[in-house]
Amino acid sequence: MARSRQTSSRGRKRGLEVRGLRNSDDIAEVRAPALPWPLAVVLAAVGAAAAGWIIVASPVVVASLAGPPRAITSGLKLATELWLLGHGSGAVIGATTITLMPLGLTALLLLILSGLAGVAARQAVLAHDSDDLPLDVRQRLVPRLVLSFTGTYVLAVGSVAFLFATPTQVAKALLGAAILAGLSSLVSVGRVVGWDAMRTWPLWAKRVPMAAAAGVATVVVGGSVAVATALYQGRDRITELSTSLGADPVGGFVLVLGELAYLPNIVLWGVSWVLGAGFSLGDGSVVSPMVTQLGLLPAVPVFGAVPPAASGHWSMVWWLLVGVAAGVVAAWTAVAPRRRARFDETSLIGGLTGLVAGVAVTVVAVVSRGNLGIGRLVSIGPRPFELFVMSCSLMGISGMAGGLVIGLLSRRQRVTLIAAQGGPDVVDDDTHVVTGEGPEDETAPVG
């Protein structure tokens, strides 16, 4: 007598157990997806859209239940506006138009999209005989999965936006949904399928994205420290603003959630501040280490951390060392494994990684910019041109200098080691190639 039994592995498999045999543990494993992958992709994309909306709607509905009965309907519409705002479409709340994206919510949407896209991709992999797919199969499967998932998610977001938003919001929502779903699914599907976009890149070039990410992470840490310092110094003003709002416990809880949703934005503003470019809190205002010019600010508690107008001074220029450190970290990550590369190569690679990190910081920080209304509440966030110049200059030059120093020190250590060991005669120039002892001992020139 035969019966099927579920077993656990990387994906869902079906086991076939035959009763009557002496050894009941002999089970034939049969690879089979739980769902056909096209259906899995559609369900994953729709489920991602629904999960994101529910996460936004839950606290809004809870807050609405504390108000009049009709507030629930308006609360659901508000939740939909905020959900679309996380896709970059903007939100129209009463007579106020908000375009400042809550990047905390956007990051949460990316996590949901990435996870469910990976689940759908796993179903497609299980339809094949082995996880080790041929290269041509991977190259066909990845675009199919990414385009199907992205298209379904864009359709779901666009349908909701068409019912509740303005035409301008619909267009922005479609673009934002395509970017979020496309990027997240490409990374997740590529990881599950085993497709490497950098497969044909030179070894030194493969390290550039990782090194640039290390530089970006360094300035994010520096910006976080600056924000934490400002929050501590302005804790009295923050408490005073929170008390002046007179919110009930439910309203206070929703306010805290809103500030947490915008916490990544605030950190990126801190990144722009430590790089010397500063940020604006309305038309005509500037907040930077060297100068601070403020006007009227909205009564948002977190804005109590903004330093007073007299705080900016040239003595604060030491914060720029964060950008210098980020360039050096990026250079070290890229060129330290190249122990036998020439110093001119390490210098160029270090400068390139610092420059890429500076461009990445600018792009991400500009996304955190937007409006909280009209008048003096427009153009809130980092100053794009100033940030581009400062980040690329600081991180690019420091990365080049760091790569040069690393290359020179590595060359000196090689010469000292060869002289101490009394090895064979070698040509004392930078074109000599020494065979490495490990995979990280690169000797090939840049090119």
- pLDDT tens string 53-94: 999 988 887 777 766 665 677 778 888 999 999 999 988 887
What per-residue confidence (pLDDT) applies to 172?
94
Rounded Cα distance between 308 and 312, Å, is: 8
Q: Say which residue the tokens 């739980």 belong to.
A: 34
Rounded Cα distance between 329 and 337, Å, is: 13
Query: Which residues are CB-neighbours of 429 under 8 A, at least 6 positions away?
Result: none
What per-residue confidence (pLDDT) applies to 121?
92
In terms of residues, how long is the chain? 447
Of the candidates 316, 411, 406, 403, the one whose C-alpha atom is nearest the C-alpha of residue 357 is 403
What per-residue confidence (pLDDT) applies to 71?
63
How far from 47 is each of 40, 106, 308, 402, CA to CA, in Å? 10, 16, 46, 47
Residues of the chain under the 50 pLDDT cut: 1-22, 24, 425-447
Tokens linked to 313: 């001074």
Rounded Cα distance between 51 and 156, Å, is: 12
Rounded Cα distance between 279 and 385, Å, is: 11
What per-residue confidence (pLDDT) applies to 77?
86
What per-residue confidence (pLDDT) applies to 204?
77
Q: Has this prediction a pTM greater than 0.85?
A: no
Sign of CA dihedral 356, 358, 359, 361: positive
